A and B are shown apart, each in its own frame.
Chain A
Amino acid sequence: MSDTTTHFCKNLPNLPTDEEGPVFAEPWQAQAFALAVRLCDEGHFTWSEWVETLSQEVKRAQAEGDPDLGDTYYNHWLNVLEKMVAQKNVVSPSDMTIRKEEWRQAYLRTPHGRSVEL
């Protein structure tokens, strides 16, 4: 495990893990995890910023009645990831919304079995 991953595991008590490290319910969660690790490694934000912001997001969600039994954890993770890159002026929220729609359209126009490209 990278230092960043070890730090996440140690300081994020709700992070779904097994005895060896993080586990994921769906492929996109592993992708979102990897993005956060790389952005930390590349210095776009620090470990402690990530841990702090994510912990606040989880607390806020719990206060609003999210029982967070592990199944919603990566939704919070993704929310924080989008928030952080916007705050750091890395990617704007509108670019993300536009790009998401472009991908959706790309899927819808790609004949099935072909690789989906923008």
Chain B
Amino acid sequence: MGQDHSHDHTEPPSDPALRVKALESLLVEKGLVDPAAIDAIIETYETKVGPRNGAKVVARAWTDPAFKDLLLSDANTAINSMGYAGRQGEHMKVVENTDTRHNLVVCTLCSCYPWTVLGLPPVWYKSAPYRAQAVSAPKGVLTEFGTTLQEGTKISVWDSTSEMRFLVLPQRPEGTDDWTAEQLEDLVSRNSMIGVELALTPAELKVIQAGESS
């Protein structure tokens, strides 16, 4: 495998993934399982798949400038250095939000997603409206998620492919200067790493935590 970037084929998934795919398609064909029922079960585990260590990667980048430089120039090496292995043949690129630029990730053709760092894609990420609007009207998408950017901020939309997957490095929220990387992790939502939201502010986190404990 290695870094084969030819575009005339798609890299087949791992052997067990192919076996499951084979079995599921045979069972569906025979009318023995309903694909919608399978998808419904999988959706309930949307947040339970993969190491989901994206928040740790972001928090480290916020607190360790050398790591951040490496992450932006060679995301695979940086992420592997934290002991998180991606799948072979999947190249990760991390794009950084700044005061003047906001990044949004989409996969217009299918639903490529960096599940090794973010888990399974949320349902809306795979939906046709999101895939279309993220490209044609990214600002509208952000508004739907309740996200407002500073006046004049430019939006870059990154279209993932099966070989190049993007992860957004959100901006570190204000008022967190004395926070440790571990504390900062809680501010890094999955949606902020897709780019539809910003990282939580300490005040927003407090509200969420109060809601969970009540």
Query: Which residues of A approach B to under 8 Å, CB–CB?
Result: 2, 18, 20-35, 37-39, 42, 44, 74-75, 78, 81-82, 85, 90-91, 95-96, 99-100, 102-104, 107-116, 118
User: In the bound complex, do residue B27 and residue A28 qualify as a contact, i.e. CB atoms below 8 Å apart?
Assistant: no
A38 touching B21, Cβ below 8 Å: no
Across-interface contacts of A103 in B (CB, < 8 A): 12, 18, 21-22, 25
Q: CB within 8 A of A25: which of B37, B51, B110?
A: B51
- New A-B pairs, 5, CB < 8 Å, besides A39-B27, A96-B19: A30-B120, A35-B27, A37-B41, A99-B23, A118-B25
Contacts of B80 in A (CB 8 A): none
- Which A residues are in CB contact (< 8 Å) with B7? 111-113
Q: Report Cα–Cα, A22/B47, bound state, in Å.
A: 11
- Is A24's CB under 8 angstroms from B22's CB? no
Q: Say yes or no: B50 contacts A107, CB within 8 Å.
A: no
Establish whether residues B9 and A99, one from each chain, have CB atoms under 8 Å apart when the complex forms. Answer: no
Q: Does B130 contact A (CB under 8 A)?
A: no
B45: CB under 8 A from chain A? yes
Check B101 for interface membership: any CB of A closer than 8 A.
Answer: no
Chain B neighbourhood of A25, CB < 8 A: 49-51
| Range class of the B interface residue count | 35 or more
Asked if B25 and A99 make an inter-chain contact with CB atoms under 8 angstroms apart, the answer reads yes
**How many Å lie between the Cα of A38 and that of B20 in the bound state?**
14
Task: From A75, A81, A104, name the one whose CB has the most chain B CB atoms within 10 angstroms.
Answer: A104
Residue in A18, A26, A38, A44 whose beta carbon sits within 8 Å of that of B37 in the complex = A38
> Are A112 and B16 in touch, CB under 8 angstroms?
no
CA distance in complex: A22, B120 (Å): 14
Given contacts A28-B16, A28-B17, A42-B32, contact A112 B37 (CB under 8 A): no
